[in-house]
Amino acid sequence: MRTRKVNMIISLVTIMGGMALVVACGQRNATTVIEGDAAEQVYIAPGEYDEFYAFLSGGFSGQITVYGLPSGRLLREVPVFSQYPENGYGYSEESKPMFNTSYGFVPWDDSHHIELSQQNGEFDGRWLFVNGNNTPRIARVDLSTFETVEILEIPDVAGLHCAPFITENSEYLVSGTRFSIPIPQKDVPIDTYKENFKGLINYVSLDQDHGTMELAFQIEMPGFNYDLARNGKAVSHGWSFLTTYNSEQAHSLLEVNASQKDKDLMAIINWKKAEEYVAAGKFTERPTSYYHNLMDESTGIAHSQEMKMTRILKPEDCPEMVYFIPVPKSPHGCDVDPSGEYIVGNGKLSADMSVYSFSKIMKAIEEKNFDGEIEGIPVINYDAGLHGILQKPGLGPLHTEFDERGNAYTTFFISSEVVKWNVDNLEILDREATFYSPGHLVIPGGETRKPEGKYLVAMNKITKDRYLPTGPELAHSAQLFDISGDKMKLLLDFPTKGEPHYAQAIRADKVKPNSKKFYNIEENAHPYATLGESKTKVVREGDEVHVYMTAMRSHLAPDNIEGFKVGDKVFFHVTNLEQDWDVPHGFAIQGATNAELLVMPGQTKTLLWEPKKVGVYAFYCTDFCSALHQEMSGYARVSAKGADVPLKWGLNETLRENQEQAEKFYEQLENKSK
Amino acid sequence: MNGKSHIAQFLMLGAVLCLGILFLQPLWKITLEAAQFPGGLDLYIWINKISGNDKHIIQNINILNHYIGMKPIHPDAIPELRYFPWVVIGMMAFGLICIGVNRPWFYLSWVLVMIGLGALGIYDFYLWLYDYGHNLDPNAPIKIANMNYMPPLFGEKDLLNFYVRSYPNWGGVFLGLAILLGAGAFYLKGKRVYV
């Protein structure tokens, strides 16, 4: 009888609690949240520019997107890890090598974390780096052209989630394996995880003049899951901090089995020390295979090189290089404040957040204040390294960014909010609801020594009712907040592409002045470039036919070609002869089984066409370039295999019989115009 | 001889230096303005070359002009750009002789020759503009009855989607100033003789 009464009371409380939740949710709608002059703050008048560029990773789209802040306008999508038929990236002969990996041609990836290059702990606007999670890779985008110019595979890791975090002078990109695996790969039972599985932390060095990446060394770590990282800055420059989860070393049903321990670990790496060990030859060389794909600036052609050796540092051979410190339950983000003194370790399943002090960690290391060791790595006493605990800030803390006024902003996935708190005194200052469930957040310069705490963008994982519905699949939603005052203020929702994980934002004037308007044709060293209409030609080499074609308003030259045969491999090398801003030409031909080409002024790009059927096929310019764009077209005649139709090509008048006559014709044409 | 007598020579020296500026600054500037060309396309006519606000301007104007059948601008094909500089150098040398001789008649003849050459130069410029604007390819993609595309010699005009402005540039200003200074030299020297 008594238990029934208790049960009834519990039920009643539950129902009332549920109702309270429903009521609370009902109050959370946009109309009650937006106040004051929000529209005016995000309105960029026609012809005016945004104050910041924001680069958002594209998640499962594999690309990155460029937005203007505060308007939230999408400026461009830059293809990185996925083929992009829109401009031929990954389909053109020049860009295909970008996708070469030790697994072959991989035309998709899952891009996660954006890192802009830095000097003295500030963004310099030169390059952008982003990781591919599934086939472990790091890409470099040149911010003068917004083009992907390099992709480096990282060997012997699985799920390169913990990447590519940059040091304050762009010395290194630090990354860690998300999943530990047998190293080298071998055929072993999965339940031998604890004996056979290892994790690698990777240091990729950057050439300071060209940004070229090189895998400098890898550190072999216990078989945990390495999740996220940050490098020290200012006082903590020379150190890296990486969170781990699954220190339980579970290999199945991780949601339960990797969530058992009260504390996981943060790895603390002295990379200056690691450099010394590498210089002293304390590494072991291990044969492996990974690809380095680099675009040649003068030809625009990407070349792949298979690398076959990696240098491994083992913590047990290299004392004072790696430490651990406990972090509450399953940490995710690991963020260093602008001073470099405080490190925030967010335990995503913990009710509290631990904030560490770099100077205390250094003191603990000096005093050898360790609680044992794991595989030769000392574990620093938790309390000795702790600055303090942020008590009950919210549910499911994920990521933290900072402003220049000593405040931190943390996203809470489960309670769906951003919480502002003071780093020094650990006092909670403000909280704002987000719609819904934010993952990463970004403040311009929010991970550097010089944040600009004017705006904050929360990248939400769930969209639901924020926009007109578009069927079951919805765009992920981002939300812009004004954080310049004491209270955060919601200004704007905007839809995003793919699933943005991290983003970085930079003041526009650090990027805009360097943005190229076109490629200088005098610097075009492409082996199939056609620098002038008089040099257009068609050359047969067995079954391969090379068409040296030019594009200029408003014709392609040559525009009539005969003598192709079924079974040929035809390479259209299209050079855009224009030298003006915003005059790309496109090229598409019927029957092509790949994509189109979009050729920027001064560039040469190549499309492979393999005609399968006899006939006459049209080709044309796909980018509306001029008043006579619709006339910018031509025909390719395909004859039967073995037919004796001679190769002829030309523009205007009749077809020229051969190359010599064609050249003569074009020369006359050019002279006439003089 | 008192100090004043040198003023005419100094004025003439100024005139010679002004002519020297023709090698440093364009004579004329033609600006083409249209919605899709933010900032406009600037074409500069120098004593010895044609340039633009970027190095590809001539190519880009030629691409636009081919729609209406206008001849492409090829600075190599304009012989005046080769011999005009020598005319200017000759006039500078003549000016220096004038300073040396320091006679009113020399100054006067320098000024008259300068005015004559200037007028001829402007007439020549007009002929080129006329030729470009009227002598159109009959096969041009865009043909508009009774339309010519001659830019104004001096002033502003609508040409299809472009609004064209044509005015002297610093070189032209200094050319005028040179003539004024030469005339001043003649005036001062002449006054001294006749007073």
C-beta of residue A649 within 8 angstroms of C-beta of residue A512 = no
Whether the predicted pLDDT of B60 surpasses 80? yes
Task: Note the maximum CA span of chain B.
Answer: 71
Chain A touched by B77 (CB under 8 Å):
yes
More confident residue, A661 or B25: B25
pLDDT (tens digit, 9 = 90+) per residue, B167-186?
999 999 999 999 999 999 99
pLDDT score, position A192: 96
**Residue A175's pLDDT is what?**
97
**Integer CA distances (angstroms), B123 to A319, B76, B95, B126, B168, in order:** 87, 20, 24, 5, 14
Q: What's the angle, vertex CA A414, arms to CA A408 and CA A417, rounded to 5?
A: 40
Q: What pLDDT, on a 0 to 100 scale, did the predictor assign at position B54?
A: 87
Query: Given CB atoms, is B63 within the 8 Å cutoff of chain A?
Result: yes
Per-residue pLDDT, A259:
78
Q: Is A289 helix (H, G, I), strand (E, B) or coil?
A: strand
* Calpha distance A559→A591 (Å, rounded): 17
Q: CB distance B67–A627 less than 8 Å? A: yes
Distance from CA of A494 to the nearest CA of B (A): 29
Answer whether A627 touches B (CB < 8 Å). yes
Containing H/E element for B155?
strand B155-159
CA distance linking residue A480 with residue B54, whole number of Å: 39
Q: Which of B53, B63, B78, B143 to mutate to test the interface with A (most CBs of A within 10 A)?
A: B63
pLDDT at A674: 45
H or E, element range at B170? helix B170-194
Tokens of B152: 């104004």
- Which residues in chain A have their CB less than 8 angstroms from residue B71's CB? 673
Nearest partner of A151 among A297, A308, A57, A290, judged by Cα: A290
Quick check: B72 contacting A, CB < 8 Å? yes
List, for residues B30-50, the tens digit of each pLDDT value. Answer: 999 999 898 899 999 999 999
CA distances from B183 to B4, B115, B170, B191 (A): 17, 10, 20, 12
- Check if A69 contacts B (Cβ < 8 Å): no
Closest residue to B63, CB basis, from A552, A631, A674: A552
Q: Give percent of chain B with pLDDT exceeding 90.
A: 79
* CB contact set of A12 (below 8 Å; sequence gap of 6+): none
C-alpha dist (Å) from residue A98 to A199, A596, B109: 26, 17, 73
Measured between CA atoms, the residue of chain A closest to residue B76 is A674
pLDDT at B53: 87
Residues of B in contact with A579 (CB under 8 A): 56, 59-60
CA distance A477 to A467: 9
Our CA-based measurement puts residue A627 at a distance from the nearest CA of chain B, in whole angstroms, of: 9
- A189-196 long-range contacts, CB within 8 A, separation 24+: A190/A251, A190/A252, A191/A251, A193/A223, A193/A249, A193/A250, A193/A251, A194/A223, A194/A249
The number of beta carbons lying within 10 Å of the beta carbon of residue A307 is 16
Q: Looking at chain A, which residue has its C-alpha nearest residue B57?
A: A580
Per-residue tokens: A394:
């919210």
Phi, psi of A199 (to 5 degrees): -120, 145
Q: What are phi and psi of A240, to 5 degrees?
A: -120, 150
Describe the crossing of helices B6-20 and B104-134 by its angle, rounded to 10 degrees. 20
Q: Is B141 on the interface with A (CB under 8 A)?
A: yes
- What is the rounded distance in angstroms from the CA atom of residue A81 to the CA atom of residue A132? 7
What are the per-10-residue average pLDDT scores of chain A (674 residues)? 52 47 46 72 96 97 98 98 98 98 98 97 98 98 98 97 97 97 95 95 98 98 95 98 91 82 91 98 97 97 98 97 92 93 87 94 98 94 96 93 97 96 97 96 97 97 94 96 96 96 97 97 96 93 97 94 97 97 97 97 98 98 94 97 92 61 59 50
pLDDT of residue A351: 79
Contact B60 A553 (CB under 8 A): no
- Nearest-Cα distance to chain B for A607, in Å, is 26
- Using an 8 Å CB-CB cutoff, list chain B residues near A628: 67, 141
Residue A12 φ/ψ, nearest 5 degrees: -60, -45
Report pTM. Answer: 0.91
- Length of chain B in residues, anyone? 195
pLDDT at B3: 47
* Assigned token pair, B10: 């100094």
**Interface membership of A628 toward B (CB under 8 Å):** yes
Q: Which two tokens stand for residue A486?
A: 């004491």
CB pairs under 8 A between A and B: 25
Task: Tell me whether A533 touches chain B (CB under 8 Å).
Answer: no
- Distance (Å) from the C-alpha of residue B57 to the closest C-alpha of chain A? 8
CA distance B100 to B61: 46
Amino acid at A232: G
Rg (CA), chain B: 20
- The rounded distance, in Å, linking the Cα atoms of A651 and A663 is 11
- Can you give the three-state secondary structure of A123-172, one letter per residue? EEEEEEEEEECCCCEEEEEECCCCEEEEEEECCCCECCCEEEEECCCCCE
Instruction: Give how far Cα B69 sits from Cα of B64, B82, B136, Å.
Output: 9, 26, 5
Tokens of B49: 């070359």
